[in-house]
Structures are given as structure tokens and as C-alpha cells.
Amino acid sequence: MPEPIDFYFDFSSPYSYVAAHRIEALAQRHIRAVSWRPILLGPAMQISGNRPLVDQAMKGEYATRDVPRLCRLYGIPFAWPTPFPVATLAAMRGFTWLNEQNPDQAIAFAKAVFHAYFADGRAIADAAVTTAVAGETGIDPDAFAAAITDPTIKARTKDAVDASIKRGVFGVPFVFVDEEPFWGVDRLPLVDEWLARGGW
Amino acid sequence: MPEPIDFYFDFSSPYSYVAAHRIEALAQRHIRAVSWRPILLGPAMQISGNRPLVDQAMKGEYATRDVPRLCRLYGIPFAWPTPFPVATLAAMRGFTWLNEQNPDQAIAFAKAVFHAYFADGRAIADAAVTTAVAGETGIDPDAFAAAITDPTIKARTKDAVDASIKRGVFGVPFVFVDEEPFWGVDRLPLVDEWLARGGW
């Protein structure tokens, strides 16, 4: 049985938002599952020395134009949120908790968070807002709110981030197909090719 | 008459090398010419705060794997040159001089320089080596060697770099289609789409 495709993302990453809209159809074409893996990009950026795109002269201006252009092409609802970027700890911890019990529900939650932030401009850095988003997907908000402050969940979230860095995830979106790494939403066509050919 | 596609690159950029192998076929599909525009990436990097890929932890390791993988897929001869990267002043000045007289010959020279560095590992930072490469493409080596030390050519080269920064070229390869900017070799499929649709 082939392994799932590992899809690393950060809830605050616009290119991850685009990838989240395309990764499942891509995987399905090759009869593969997707393992959704949110991370916190901050720690990886400290190691690689990268700064958030929007903080970089010239490159930030390009991204401001580029993301909406991609979303228009793919028919993905998008509006630049304010503030941007934000800390995504609540969403990541919530996902970690959900994923242990019900991965499909975790994925539905992840999509709802992405939509809340990048389509509706909601303040997902606010734990109360992220809890409300969880509630809207059918999750018990009280259980969610308790989980995201649970020390065990916090520790597992930290472990997940550390593991992603050990694996080489320096940016998002990042995809592994059978240990072969692909960075960036622009590489999804190459992921498609790798899956079709079984590598080269 | 539609404008040419503007293709910005640095002779020391591996992703530019890949793009150089694909840009003409892409343009031809849409009956467009390509305006080849070498730049020096150093000045733009100083402004944007970027560092060469290979100097970045994690990201550099990924690129070391990624470039050969791309080249294998596209059938482009490639071997990591040493040293890498290098200063490409001689090649850029040579191109500037050639382009004023014979753009087609300038393009042939550009392709020869790319091949010399990324396929044959030759020391293109050495003006004598770049002059030899020019000679191998049918250019008078003495005239070439004189041109690349000519103050007027030096000034025009500097102007070209300044103009590229003003235009927003923060990295290479960089393509403009009718003033619409596309950064990165991964965006060539999007360039293709933009040309096919006339934008969106």
C-alpha cells in the first residue's frame, strides 16, 4: 500500500492556502492519500535565516501581486488578511488534538481555518476565533478550547514542529512523496509528474 | 506586433540555466520573441536582503538536490560547478557588447556560457575563459576581450543592472510578459498560461 503524500503547511501561509486547495485532487489522480501536517514556520525561519515574504523588499511586493493572481486562476476565494501574518498556535494545537481522534475531521477543520483567514479575514491568532471556527465544523467548542491549552497537546505540537525541521522542512508548502522533497506551491506539477512516473 | 517576452537571468544562476533551456520553446508556442537580459544578482540581493541559495541552511541542501532533479527531467546536461556561484561580470559585459550589434549572436554566446559553466564546469569568472567561450561561438576573441574592458560597455552593463532593479527584478530567472512579472523557473507554466489566455 503506497504511503500517503505528506503535506506540510502553516495556517498563516498564503501559498499553503493555495496548495491546500489543490493537493487532494492531485493525490486522488494517483490514488494516494494526503497526510496533512501543519507546522509553525517561525522556528524553521530562524534556522534558515529566512524572513517572512512580506518583510522582504521587492520580493514582498511581488508576493502581494502573485498570490491573488494565483487564486484568480484557480478560482480560490482570497483577500489579503490584516494583520498578516499571524501566529497560528491555536489552530495548530487544535489540529494536533483532532488528528489523533479523527483525521478527516482534522482536515475539515484545517480547511475551515484557511478559509476563515484567507477568504473571510477572521482573526485566527485569537484562540476564541479559532475555537468558533472549530465549532462551526461540528466540533465541541468547550472540548476544543480545553485541548488547545492542554500541556500534552502543546508538547505534541512542539514535537511535530521539531520533527518537520529534522526532516528538512524549511518553508511551506512542502510535500514529500515517498521521502522525495518538493518545496513550494509551484512544485505541485512536478509532484504530479513524480507520482505519474514513479520518480526519475 | 506583440512585445518580446523579457527574460532576466544571471549566468551563475542554475535555475536561470534551466529556464534558458525552456524559454524559447515556450515563447515560440505563442509566436513571441524573447529578449534575453542578463543581470548581476548581487545588487538586487543587497536590497532584498536575500543571500545566495547555497548559503542558506536547509534551503541550500534542498537546492543541491532540486536543480539536478529538474535537469534530469528536462534532459539538460548539468553538474554542480566549483566554485559556485561566481562573478559573471565578463559574460555580462560581453553579452551587452554583442547584443548591440547582433542579438542572435548574443543569445548564442549566452547559451554557450551557460553550457560552459553548468555542463562543462569551466571557470567563467575568468575573463580569459569567457573570451575563449566567445571565440568558440565564432566571435573575434580580441575584439571581445577589448570590449569587456571598455568603459562604455562597463557603464551600459551597470545601467542594465540598475534598470532591472527599478523594474522589480529581485531574483532570477524573472520573466515579464507585457509588464506582468513572473519570478522563478517554476512559473514558466504560468507564463505559458498567461500567454495563452492573454492574462486573467
pLDDT digits (tens, 9 = 90+) for B15-54: 999 999 999 999 999 999 999 999 998 887 777 777 777 7
Mutate to test the interface with A, among B41, B45, B59 (most CBs of A within 10 A): B59
**Average pLDDT value for residue range B151-166:** 95
Q: How far, in Å, CA of B60 to CA of B116, rounded?
A: 23
What order do you get walking across the sheet with A174-177 strand by strand? A34-38, A5-9, A174-177, A180-183
Q: Is the pTM of this model over 0.90?
A: yes
- The CATH homologous superfamily of the domain defined by B5-197: Glutaredoxin (3.40.30.10)
Cell numbers standing for residue A48: 534558515
Mutate to test the interface with B, among A45, A51, A58, A165 (most CBs of B within 10 A): A58
Are the C-beta atoms of B89 and B40 separated by less than 8 Å? yes
Give A-chain residues touching B59 at CB under 8 angstroms. 48, 50, 170-171
How far is CA B99 from its chain centroid? Answer: 14
- B21: helix, strand or coil: coil
Q: A8: which strand partners? A: A37, A174
pLDDT tens digits, one per residue of A44-102: 787 777 777 777 878 889 999 999 999 999 999 999 999 999 999 999 999 999 999 99
Burial track A169-190 (b if 16+ CB lie within 10 A, e otherwise): bbbbbbbbbeeebbbbbbbbeb
Sequential pLDDT tens for chain A (200 residues): 789 999 999 999 999 999 999 999 999 999 999 999 999 988 878 777 777 777 787 888 999 999 999 999 999 999 999 999 999 999 999 999 999 999 999 999 999 999 999 999 999 999 999 999 999 999 999 999 999 999 999 999 999 999 999 999 999 999 999 999 999 999 999 999 999 999 99
- A129: helix, strand or coil: helix
Q: How far, in Å, CA of A106 to CA of A92, rounded?
A: 10
Residue with cell 565564432: B138
